[in-house]
């Protein structure tokens, strides 16, 4: 049944590529890939056996499902152009922080399919283990989207636009900001002639640990131990880099604040 639905991908960036490749591997055909850049459209389309188009005029009208993975501001700007003439179809976007209502007034059947994962063209993602959060403007399409998404992932949940925004914000902390801390560690090690690879077992264990302990329980390090001597040694080492020094101080203070709160909760 799913295989009979005709799917079009609008966008050819990291998320569109991740979704497109996952659909292809599941045997769900994508008939067309649209990107404003012909080269990007072609790169993804070739991988998944779809037609590549880069002009809005050539975008098919007869698909059943349109998945829109464009940069947020482009998507918001082009919503009328995407919707026009496709009122019969279900249109979904994949953005964490764009409300479903962005579609309202432009088309009849719409929703959101938000994969909570970080995608890069350089890495293949196993979508079956990626939580997919869905939302649609009718119970029928919610049901359809749930069934359709369940073919791709073992973890499909409904989330309204507020919950999705909360998920996205938490993902920025737990992924994008985390990666930036890796980048700081990388630069610091490099400037001391040490390889970033030495940190990988620690990075892996830090991620694994929160599978079985809550992040609060898992917290370790000089800040939560109130090891002021080490904190001072580190702040002194960061003296030439005031931004990282301030970041170190702020995060350490924040860890101590959160720990104090936890203690207070336990006492009360």
* Window 83-102: residues binding its own copies (CB under 8 A): 96-97
Of the ranges 41-49, 53-61, 83-91, 118-126, which one interacts with its own copies (CB under 8 A)? 118-126
Q: Exactly one of 147, 181, 260, 263 binds its own copies (CB under 8 A); which one?
A: 181
Min CB(3)–its own copies separation in Å: 26
Q: The tokens of 146 are what?
A: 């749930």
Vertex 111: Cα angle to 74 and 5 (nearest 5): 100
Cβ-Cβ contacts under 8 Å for 19 (sequence gap 6 or more): 9, 67, 69, 94, 115, 127
In total, the chain counts a number of residues equal to 268
**Rule CB under 8 A: is residue 27 a binding residue for its own copies?**
no
Block residue for tokens 């005029």 = 57
Cβ-Cβ contacts under 8 Å for 120 (sequence gap 6 or more): 14
**Rule CB under 8 A: is residue 79 a binding residue for its own copies?**
no
**Rule CB under 8 A: is residue 199 a binding residue for its own copies?**
yes
Instruction: State the number of binding residues for its own copies (CB under 8 A).
Output: 96
**Rule CB under 8 A: is residue 173 a binding residue for its own copies?**
yes
Block residue for tokens 């002009």 = 55
Block residue for tokens 């998945």 = 67
- CB nearer to its own copies: pick between 89 and 145: 145
Three-state SS at 193: coil
Q: Of 136-165, which residues contact its own copies (CB under 8 A)?
A: 155, 157, 159, 162-163, 165
Q: Exactly one of 105, 201, 240, 242 binds its own copies (CB under 8 A); which one?
A: 201
Min CB(25)–its own copies separation in Å: 17
Of the ranges 4-12, 55-63, 67-75, 79-87, which one interacts with its own copies (CB under 8 A)? 67-75
Please list, residue by residue across 28-37, b when 16 or more beta carbons sit within 10 angstroms of its beta carbon and e when fewer do: bebbbbbbbe
Helix count and strand count (H, E) for the chain: 10, 8
**Rule CB under 8 A: is residue 39 a binding residue for its own copies?**
no
Write phi, then psi, for 32 (nearest 5 degrees): -150, 145
Min CB(77)–its own copies separation in Å: 11
Q: Exactly one of 81, 84, 88, 180 binds its own copies (CB under 8 A); which one?
A: 180
**Rule CB under 8 A: is residue 114 a binding residue for its own copies?**
no
């Amino acid at each position: 049944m799913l295989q009979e639905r005709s799917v079009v991908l609008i966008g050819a960036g990291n998320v569109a590529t991740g979704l497109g490749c996952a659909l292809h591997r599941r045997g769900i055909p994508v008939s067309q890939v649209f990107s404003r850049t012909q080269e990007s459209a072609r790169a993804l389309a070739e991988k998944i056996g779809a037609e590549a188009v880069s002009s809005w005029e050539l975008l098919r009208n007869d698909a059943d499902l349109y998945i829109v993975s464009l940069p947020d501001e482009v998507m918001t700007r082009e919503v009328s152009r995407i919707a026009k003439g496709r009122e019969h179809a279900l249109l979904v976007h994949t953005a964490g922080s764009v409300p479903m209502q962005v579609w309202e007034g432009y088309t009849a059947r719409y929703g959101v399919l938000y994969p909570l994962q970080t995608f890069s063209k350089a890495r293949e993602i196993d979508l079956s283990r990626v939580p997919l959060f869905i939302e649609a403007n009718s119970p029928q399409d919610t049901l359809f989207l749930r069934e359709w998404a369940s073919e791709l992932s073992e973890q499909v949940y409904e989330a309204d636009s507020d919950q999705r925004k909360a998920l996205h914000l938490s993902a920025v902390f737990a992924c994008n900001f985390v990666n930036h801390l890796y980048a700081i560690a990388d630069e610091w090690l490099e400037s001391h002639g040490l390889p970033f690879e030495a940190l990988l077992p620690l990075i892996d264990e830090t991620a694994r640990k929160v599978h079985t302990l809550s992040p609060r329980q898992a917290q370790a390090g000089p800040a939560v131990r109130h090891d002021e001597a080490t904190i001072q040694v580190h702040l002194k080492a960061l003296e030439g880099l005031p931004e990282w020094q301030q970041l170190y101080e702020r995060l350490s203070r924040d860890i101590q604040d959160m720990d104090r709160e936890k203690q207070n909760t336990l006492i009360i």
